Structure 1
Amino acid sequence: MNKKRMILLLSMLIFIGVVVFFTLDRNVAVSAPAFYVANAGDGTLSKIDLDERESVESISLGVNELSHGIAISPDEKVVYYGTGFQGKSLQALEVDTQEIVSELIFDEGVHGIDIHPSGEFLYVSLMGGLGEDGGVLAVVDTNTFTEIARITTDDGPAHVSVTNDGAQIWVANVNGNSISVVDAYTYQVLATIPVGEVPNEVAVSPTMDFAYSANVRSNTISVIDMVRFEVIEEIQVGEGVHGVTVSPDGKQVWTANNHSNDVSVIDVETLSVVKTIETASYANHISFSPNGEFAFVTHRESNNLVIIDTKDYSILNELDLGNEPHEMTLKGMLASNETMEDDFTDRQETKNYLVSGEEFTEGVDIQIQLLSPYNLENQELIWELANVNPFDFFFINIDMSTHSGDLMAVPFDEGIVLANEEGTEVSPIQWIVVNEESHHPRYMAIFEKTVNMTPLLTNQNSYLEMIFRPFINEEEVRVELSKH
């Protein structure tokens, strides 16, 4: 190789190296972790660099106000926010392009928003305003950006919190002075728990043993046993407690107190306030960094973000925000996106439950079971047989057994329905023959979970039963599904 060619080759390698260096550097800058603050009073989002804890930019969304709640997709590529009580819509903003890619319009104002850990569903509280009756929790499919269910809670659903395993949705009802607990799969309201006056927000522990309700007018935190759905303690905190969050290790609860302009720190073991931190005017909402080293507090009157060192409770910095800042997208963010999928899968497996029923008639033993979508074997079976999301429908396994006769010759699918205690019935959208043995056939019946967006299972007294019309010679056979 001559000298000129050697110099040319070295020059090309140096050029490529420089390009790669700057490309990698740009990629690092673009992917730097950030969170967003909903500024309700001026319709903007504030973008905050999480590592540097500095304000990056203000994003104008072309509206005059925003809802108080906000959420971000697990991959941190899409921010979801509402346009308040006037705009009555939910919008999706693509982070990289800052373009609004989806919008869904409701008939009531949007207040709180949270997202399922899988990123598949959003939970949006709809209400008329403080002091008004009514209100519902809307379930939105993030893939189609359509509303798929409406769940009736108590009056005035405000802020929403989804448990880490994605199995339950906890809703603070400001006008009902209660907390609603909703099964994320069935949409059934499992409990309505009385708490203090005007509960604005409820935070659930990462260990899913206790939940904490911030009661604005009572100046208290209601501590709720998440297994028994009972309040076990009332803790006096600052005046006008409005926001509440639990540290990532579950050892402390921090509150943002509107009227006393401070933050209360509660020790979970002793259920007592161990520190009060003066912040700024009208402390509104509070969140931790994913590693728990910092707490971030928005302030509705001073329009700023106060950053607190959680080790010594010192105030590190104050950042200017837009008008009337509320919630942040820090809730639910994981320390590493790489662990997100495995972490959610591990958490799901702890939530298996059995809903089944049995009946013996005309010499036939009938056993039915609602397949839990939290069971990994059930997930694989549903994907294999039906090729649909296990969380989207009710999948019921039907086992039959007899010592005589050919059960496969009976067209059970022609008259089978799923009904609730109110008599609402749905026919299967799909009937799958799993096992064709004449004496021991097995079927899978797939049903919608809602009728006109109203869940089949509505409250803690609801139940389902499968009805066979006819069943061989019987006019009707009913098999009730009960939880074990």
Structure 2
Amino acid sequence: MATSRLEYVFPDGSFSVFDMDNGHQLVKSVALPQARGIRGVIAHAATHALYISYGGDGDGQHGAPTMLKYDLLTDTVVWTHAYPIGIDSISIGPDGSRLYLPTGELASGGTWYVINASSGDVVGRIDGPAGPHNTIVSLDGAHVYLGGRANNYLAVADTSTDQVFRRIGPLQSSVRPFTIDGGETVAYITITGLRGFQVGDIANGTVLRTVTFTGPNVSHTNGPSAPSHGISLSPDERELYVIDWPDYVHVFDVSGGPRQAPQQVADIALIPSMNHSESPCLYDCLADGWLQHSRDGRFVYVGDQGDVIDTATRQPVTNLSTLSNTRKMIEIDWNEGVPVFAANARASVGYVR
């Protein structure tokens, strides 16, 4: 049996699975009516586990902050666990034993819960930036990167101590979607209010440069507070895709590494525009967007708009209507009936080490 590369897409209350190698044909859809207000999705191949966080994001509204564990082999919910404060975009360590759960972008504090992945129980906490929102565990599992919606530093914690040991910044404004390279030398960070991104030196915590979009193909429509709410590093770390809401995705050559300025090399028009609201949707329904590379680098998925971009031609090969109504999606690959690869965060990171 050949490897199946599958894209899992999560609108509110369900998920749909698409076959990357068969024209993105729909494989199946699964109803999860309890999962309203989905904020985070990740999976772990060896334990064949899918985790979905949903409910309130720290302000006491939109339902109980909850996470569920789903068995990918049996297609059943293993457990459902409620949490205090809130939930947001999760990540998991490479051994599959620990999850890192931010308590929500609207939370007044800066707590990330450390979760036992088998039981869902809280086994620790990390005091990070205010407004806990986005999370990435490094490829080796030694570090976890913490993005707070209400703080202008990207924090890095040691997973052996659950202590923050470095902050990257100060950035121009608060941290929004970000990504890192596999060797943990550079962070590409979008921020509130900026069409573009900032480049951070992970080793010393400094901001190396600010990059904005140039040329005639630049969006000017006012919309979400983060007009570049989507950034994705190719697995080979040579290209960076960034959203310019609502009309474009810009491509940057970053093959020179952190010391060389990124070069804008392509502008990909989004047709239809991203300017709409998600449906179904419990809250935060404006289509902010998200970007995700496939693990082999062939495709980039445009959350909240639906395009699947061929990275060789930089043209869309299809548009998935399900993907146009969510910014939560991950890849899970299968071989001989079992998962063999799963994204450990919604963010697409580099894999060069």
What TM-score does the superposition give when structure 2 sets the normalisation length?
0.78
**CA distance change for structure 1 residues 60 and 338 in 2, over 3 Å: closer, same or farther?**
closer
CA offset digits 1:405-452 (Å, max 9, x no partner) = xxxxxxxxxxxxxxxxxxxxxxxxxxxxxxxxxxxxxxxxxxxxxxxx
2:302 is the counterpart of 1:297 = yes
The aligned residue for residue 217 of structure 1 is 193
1:443-458 matches, cutoff 5 A: none
Greater Cα offset, 139-148 or 286-295:
139-148
* 1:59 partner letter: V
1:244-323 matches, cutoff 5 A: 244-257=231-244, 259-268=245-254, 269=256, 270-279=261-270, 280-281=273-274, 282=287, 284-299=289-304, 304-321=305-322
**CA distance change for structure 1 residues 255 and 291 in 2, over 3 Å: closer, same or farther?**
same
2:44 pairs, out of 65, 73, 78, with: 73
CA RMSD, 1 decimal: 2.7
Percent identical residues: 22
Indicate the SS of the match to 1:112. coil
* 2:297 partner letter: G
The aligned residue for residue 58 of structure 1 is 29
The aligned residue for residue 171 of structure 2 is 195
> Which 5+ residue runs of structure 1 have no aligned equivalent?
1-27, 341-349, 351-484
CA offset digits 1:327-366 (Å, max 9, x no partner) = 22239x79997699xxxxxxxxx9xxxxxxxxxxxxxxxx
More RCO (CA 8 Å, sep 6+): 2
Q: Take 1:55 and 1:102, find their aligned partners in 2: how far apart are those partners?
A: 27
CA offset digits 1:34-70 (Å, max 9, x no partner) = 232222xx32222222322233233221226233321
Tell me by how many angstroms 1:124 deviates. 1.1
* 1:256 partner letter: I
Indicate the SS of the match to 1:228. coil
**CA distance change for structure 1 residues 205 and 46 in 2, over 3 Å: closer, same or farther?**
same
1:42-441 matches, cutoff 5 A: 42-52=12-22, 53-63=24-34, 65-75=36-46, 77-85=48-56, 86-127=63-104, 129=106, 133-193=108-168, 194-237=170-213, 240-257=227-244, 259-268=245-254, 269=256, 270-279=261-270, 280-281=273-274, 282=287, 284-299=289-304, 304-321=305-322, 324-330=325-331
CA contact (8 A) 2:105 2:149 kept: no
**CA distance change for structure 1 residues 188 and 82 in 2, over 3 Å: closer, same or farther?**
same
* 2:246 partner letter: S
Q: Take 2:323 and 2:180, find their aligned partners in 1: how far apart are those partners?
A: 28
* 1:133 partner letter: S
Tell me by how many angstroms 1:323 deviates. 7.5
Indicate the SS of the match to 1:110. coil
Greater Cα radius of gyration, structure 1 or 2: 1
CA contact (8 A) 1:70 1:82 kept: yes
Tell me by how many angstroms 1:97 deviates. 2.9
CA contact (8 A) 1:285 1:297 kept: yes
Number of residue equivalences: 303
The aligned residue for residue 33 of structure 1 is 5
Q: Take 1:339 and 1:106, find their aligned partners in 2: how far apart are those partners?
A: 28
